[in-house]
Amino acid sequence: MVEKSKAFQIGVHCFMILLMLFCLIPFLLLLVSSFTAESALLKNGYSFFPSEISFDAYKALLVDSSSIFRGYFLSFVVTVTGTLSNVVLTLLFAYPLSRRDLPGKGFFSFMVFFTMLFNGGLVPTYMMWTGVFNIKNTLWALIVPNLMMGAFYVIMMRTYFTTNIPEAVLEAARIDGAGELKMLIQIVLPMSKPIIATIILLVGLNYWNDWLNGLYYVNDDRLYSIQVLLNKMLMDVQYLMTNAASSLGQSIQLPATGIKMAVAVMGALPMFIIYPFFQKYFVQGIVIGAVKG
């Protein structure tokens, strides 16, 4: 029996290790390819065992700093401002909804919830943002549409407040003469750190990974975030070549095959750096979100 159990454990470990490899191997191919010499890439293709290692792709990226670093910087600015606005909006909306005594609470909750069931679709959304608000080719386009507040997170935060913040605490503060805003900042906020951390991470992930707003509303290449830039480079090799050629001068042979992979590595890198430290919150967010969406 013990023997059998041990064999089972080893079997499961083997399976899990294979599964891990399945998840990670594509990234390995990307990483190795980005460090492979252009000539080797053209001859042998993207491979796990490069015949010649080279940093040319990254060097070229450093020289052609204008578009890549602007994209990086833009993504960073968009992610930080977008996430902050989202969390503030969500907090300010979810807190009143968590108050059982608030008149009209049912109506407002339904208003949030209904957006999860029905939407106007891309056509009117696109026309409104571009026609009425003129956000085409502005920084707003990357921050405001679709991502700045979501029903999902509002409901998640409201549920957290109703289950984790006892009404008696709020009542006591009120008797002490605290105003609503003061209560929110001094009592609710400190008690809600885990849910706020979780929402910051999930929303930040949405902003960092977003390329749809860029695809829909931006065609000015000074406003390409890193994801939009990646998208353009993959779909349009010409874009990569002309863009780099203009800043490098025509004389330099550009390692285009390797650069593609190097840019993708840079696009994915921040997630890989942040994730191990915040793994707990990501998992927590997914579990809370799924159990009570």
Partner 1 sequence: MSKKMKKYKRYLPLYFMMVPGLVYLIINNYIPMGGIIIAFKKFNYAKGILGSPWTGLDNFEFLFKTKEAWTITRNTLVYNMLFIVIGTILAVAVAILLNELKSVMAKKVYQTVILVPFLISIVVVSYLVYGFLSTDTGFINKSILQPMGKNSISWYSDPTYWPFILVIVNVWKNLGYNCIIYYATVVGLDTSLYESAAIDGAGRWKRIWHITLPGLKTTIITLVLMSVGRVFYSDFGLFYQVPMNSGPLIDVTNTIDTYVYRGLMELNNIGMASAAAVYQSLVGFILVLSANMIVRKIDQESALF
Site for partner 1 in 194-233 (CB under 8 A): 205, 208-212, 216, 227, 230-231
Q: Which residue stretch of 24-32, 56-64, 65-73, 247-255 sits at the interface with partner 1 (rule: CB under 8 A)?
A: 24-32
Within 10 Å of residue 222's Cβ, how many Cβ atoms? Answer: 11
92 versus 250: smaller Cβ distance to partner 1: 92
Site string for partner 1, 109-148 (x = CB under 8 A): --xxx-xxxxxxxxxxxxxx--x-x----------xxx-x
Q: Are 75 and 226 in contact (CB under 8 A)?
A: yes
H/E stretch holding 30 reads helix 2-34
Q: How far is the CB of 274 from partner 1 (least distance, A)?
A: 9
Site string for partner 1, 40-59 (x = CB under 8 A): -xx-xxxxx-----------
Q: How far is the CB of 229 from partner 1 (least distance, A)?
A: 9
CA torsion, ordered 137, 140, 142, 146, to nearest 10 deg: -120
Residue 34: CA atoms inside 13 Å, Cβ hemisphere, count?
20
Which of 151, 31, 145, 43 lies closest to 90 in space, CA to CA?
A: 151
Check the CA dihedral 76-77-80-83 and report its sign.
Answer: negative
Per CB under 8 A, the list member of 8, 167, 185, 242 interacting with partner 1 is 8
Per CB under 8 A, the list member of 7, 19, 80, 172 interacting with partner 1 is 19
- Tell me the site size for partner 1, rule CB under 8 A: 95
Tokens of 185: 């900042």
190 versus 249: smaller Cβ distance to partner 1: 190
Q: How far is the CB of 276 from partner 1 (least distance, A)?
A: 7
Q: How far is the CB of 186 from partner 1 (least distance, A)?
A: 14
Residue 187, classified by CB atoms within 10 Å of its CB into exposed (0-12), middle (13-18) or buried (19+), is middle
Per CB under 8 A, the list member of 149, 165, 170, 223 interacting with partner 1 is 149
**What does the DSSP 8-state code read for residue 53?**
B
- Binders of partner 1 among residues 241 to 280 (CB under 8 A) are 257, 260-261, 264, 267-268, 271-272, 275-276, 279
H/E stretch holding 20 reads helix 2-34
Q: Are 141 and 213 in contact (CB under 8 A)?
A: yes
Q: How far is the CB of 288 from partner 1 (least distance, A)?
A: 9
Q: How far is the CB of 249 from partner 1 (least distance, A)?
A: 26
Say how many Å lie between the first and final Cα of the chain, rounded: 43
Q: Are 257 and 38 in contact (CB under 8 A)?
A: yes
Bridge partners for 53 per DSSP: 36
233 versus 244: smaller Cβ distance to partner 1: 233
- Binders of partner 1 among residues 68 to 107 (CB under 8 A) are 88-90, 92-93, 95-97, 99, 102-103
246 versus 254: smaller Cβ distance to partner 1: 254
Q: How far is the CB of 292 from partner 1 (least distance, A)?
A: 9
